[in-house]
Amino acid sequence: MALVIPVILCGGSGTRLWPLSRSGFPKQFLVLSGDGSSESLFQQAVDRINSAASPDIKLGNTLVVTNEDHRFLVLDQLRDLPSIHSTLLLEPVGRNTAPALSMAALCAQQLSNSEDPILVITPADQTIQNQNAFTKALRDCIRSVEVTPNSIAILGITPTTPETGYGYIQRAVSKDVNGAYEVKRFVEKPNSKTAEIYLAEGSYLWNSGMFVMKASTWLSCIKEFRPDIDGATRNAWQAKSEDSSGGVSFIRPGKAEFEAVPSESIDYAVIEKCPQSHFPIKMIELNAGWSDLGAWDAVWQVGKQDANGNVTSGDTLLANTKNSLVHASSRLVSAVGIENLVIVETADAVLIANRQNSQDVKNIVSQLDLQGREEKSLHRKVSRPWGWYDSVDEGERFKVKRIQVKPGASLSLQMHHHRAEHWIVVRGIAEITNGDQVVTLKENESTFIPQGQTHRLANPGNTPLEIIEVQSGSYLGEDDIIRFEDTYGRS
């Protein structure tokens, strides 16, 4: 029986789906598939890859490779999948997918008690419409790798259009006895004319970025093709630390050592070098309504379209509108007499784009970055490990926040140099440390935190705590915070 370890690569910021996707809450944690599912793309990826279990395929713990800043988003979403047992590999900095997979392979070998597990690797931000077709293709990949030494299997997507945004795989003419094609070569994203030739020729498929291979195969490949990445990643792995929370294990590579790892993708480091090497690479064709949701036009394509070709979400009203995507997050959005547009509204930003040019949203994000604007990274409503806050109003010397704290959670013991705070409890029970005093406040009760005072907000109750915070002072930035104690390792 094959031991299979699912590996979810959960990095990236999804800037082409701004303003909904931002580095502080990227697209993999959003519900975007358009099929009526309430699961995020990350949750769908976890469920989808765990569907491979069968009488001859045993699944081990799911390995999620993500960054330190997103670990609590991952934990929150894994709580909605109670049947999934997982381990989180936390990168201190982004180093692309090749080091991430190397770390996952080392971890899989450690967890599997000297077995050589098969890794099933998928990005966390894709969508599949036909689950049954996907499961069959994935099992075919696993069985192909199990019987072919040192081999790699990849899922190739049946192309439907002359797409210029994807890399392509050229396959051989015929299948082997396991239903897999030999991969002849990988080609870069083509121009439109070349993409049309590929589509007509019939032997070129889209590269899905989903791979299957034994852990030892990847480690042999990376050692041969990129020994610098292999050596640096092993150094970081040797310096790792481990802890756990809520039954989920955290593994952190050595920070300084991981920062020294060269940044490279799985494809460039290894996969594109495998054809005609002693690491045979096979391809199983997948025709299952796949999309990587790389731009708003892709979200429109997979969405549920009305009779006029429109895809809507939230509170929207349309008149004489065709082939458009309209997403409302916080208020009514109406559209009259438009066609082929993308309109995305959030509490602090609105995007309007021609659907065919939606890839160029990245240029807006670049401008936000150059201007140092917070809208690049954070929404007005910001998730935190203890809950969330929503900045509802602000002026020159004041800011008003709505804050929710989870049951049993607490903020750090902290102090601000430049601001004072008024707290008003509107729901639940608050335990407040204010200097040397600890008080309990109920609904409609309030307190004042002077500038420079050490303080903490905690929720001792069984229901969410909600307060209104009014800040006042000469500087109200989020970086004016000194943490003395913190449950979440941020002090």
pLDDT score recorded for residue 33: 65
pLDDT score recorded for residue 36: 60
Distance separating alpha carbons of residues 88 and 481, to the nearest angstrom? 28
The answer as to whether 425 is a domain residue is yes
Residues 170 and 312 in one domain: no
pLDDT score recorded for residue 208: 95
Determine what percent of the chain falls in helix, strand and coil, rounding each to the nearest 5. Answer: 25, 35, 40
Residues 158 and 280 in one domain: yes
Q: What CATH number is attached to the domain comprising 428?
A: 2.60.120.10
pLDDT score recorded for residue 255: 95
Distance separating alpha carbons of residues 65 and 45, to the nearest angstrom? 13
Q: Produce one character per residue of 436-464: b if its CB has 16 or more CB atoms within 10 Å, e if not.
A: eeeeebeeeeebebeeebbbbbbbebeee
Distance separating alpha carbons of residues 380 and 390, to the nearest angstrom? 6
The answer as to whether 292 is a domain residue is no
Residues 312 and 445 in one domain: no
* Alpha helices per DSSP H over 211-329: 215-225, 227-238, 255-259, 266-269, 296-302
Residues 350 and 432 in one domain: no
Long-range contacts of 473-479 (CB under 8 A, 24+ apart): 473/397, 473/416, 473/418, 473/419, 473/420, 474/397, 474/418, 474/419, 475/417, 475/418, 475/419, 476/394, 476/397, 476/398, 476/399, 476/418, 476/419
Task: Write out pLDDT tens, residues 70-97.
Answer: 999 999 999 999 999 999 999 999 999 9
Q: What is the DSSP letter of 159?
A: P
pLDDT score recorded for residue 113: 79
Is residue 48 within a helix (H) or strand (E), and if so which, with residue range? helix 41-50
The answer as to whether 372 is a domain residue is no
The answer as to whether 341 is a domain residue is yes
Distance separating alpha carbons of residues 121 and 251, to the nearest angstrom? 18
347/246: higher pLDDT: 347
Tell me the whole-structure pTM to 2 decimals. 0.92
Q: Produce one character per residue of 100-116: b if its CB has 16 or more CB atoms within 10 Å, e if not.
A: bbbbbbbbbbebeeeee
State which residues form the domain around 359: 297-366
Strand partners, 381: 390
The answer as to whether 11 is a domain residue is yes
470/13: higher pLDDT: 470
Domain end position, chosen among 310, 331, 366: 366
Residues 355 and 452 in one domain: no
Residues 347 and 437 in one domain: no
Burial class (CB in 10 A: 0-12, 13-18, 19+), 330: middle
pLDDT score recorded for residue 32: 86
Is-contact 306 312, C-beta < 8 A? Answer: yes
pLDDT score recorded for residue 272: 94
Distance separating alpha carbons of residues 10 and 231, to the nearest angstrom? 23
Distance separating alpha carbons of residues 14 and 28, to the nearest angstrom? 8
pLDDT score recorded for residue 53: 92
Q: What CATH number is attached to the domain comprising 112?
A: 3.90.550.10
The answer as to whether 275 is a domain residue is yes
How many other C-beta atoms can be found within 10 angstroms of the C-beta atom of residue 489? 12
Residues 259 and 302 in one domain: no
Phi/psi at 285 (nearest 5 deg)? -80, 135
Domain end position, chosen among 314, 335, 366: 366
Residues 350 and 451 in one domain: no
Chain-wide mean pLDDT for the chain?
94
Distance separating alpha carbons of residues 38 and 239, to the nearest angstrom? 39
- What is the band of 115 on the pLDDT scale with cuts at 50, 70, 90? confident
Q: Is the pLDDT of residue 287 over 60?
A: yes
Residues 389 and 305 in one domain: no
Task: Write out pLDDT tens, residues 131-159.
Answer: 999 999 999 999 999 988 999 999 999 99
Backbone CA torsion sign across 187, 189, 194, 199: positive
Residues 18 and 164 in one domain: yes
Distance separating alpha carbons of residues 11 and 64, to the nearest angstrom? 10
pLDDT score recorded for residue 370: 96
Q: What angle do CA 447, 453, 454 make, to 5 degrees?
A: 100
The answer as to whether 345 is a domain residue is yes
pLDDT score recorded for residue 491: 61
pLDDT score recorded for residue 244: 83
Q: Is the pLDDT of residue 408 over 60?
A: yes
Q: Is the pLDDT of residue 35 over 80?
A: no
pLDDT score recorded for residue 486: 86
Look at the chain and report how many structural domains it folds into: 3
Task: Write out pLDDT tens, residues 23-34.
Answer: 999 999 999 865
Q: Is the pLDDT of residue 100 over 80?
A: yes
- What is the band of 165 on the pLDDT scale with cuts at 50, 70, 90? confident
Task: Write out pLDDT tens, residues 205-258.
Answer: 999 999 999 999 999 999 999 999 999 999 999 999 998 877 788 999 999 999
pLDDT score recorded for residue 246: 72
Is residue 368 within a helix (H) or strand (E), and if so which, with residue range? helix 361-370
Q: What angle do CA 202, 207, 208 make, to 5 degrees?
A: 125
Strand partners, 249: 87, 244
Domain end position, chosen among 341, 366, 391: 366
Distance separating alpha carbons of residues 207 and 215, to the nearest angstrom? 21
Tell me the average pLDDT across 253-264: 96
Residues 46 and 72 in one domain: yes
Two tokens, residue 407: 């049951």
The answer as to whether 46 is a domain residue is yes
Residues 143 and 41 in one domain: yes
Strand partners, 286: 157
Tell me the average pLDDT across 443-448: 97
Distance separating alpha carbons of residues 417 and 142, to the nearest angstrom? 57
Amino acid sitting at position 413 = L
Q: Which of 379, 454, 456 is nearest to 423 (CA)?
A: 456
Backbone CA torsion sign across 123, 372, 375, 464: positive
Two tokens, residue 151: 């081999």
The CA-atom distances, in angstroms, between 130 and each of 133, 135, 174, 291, 301 are: 6, 9, 25, 11, 15
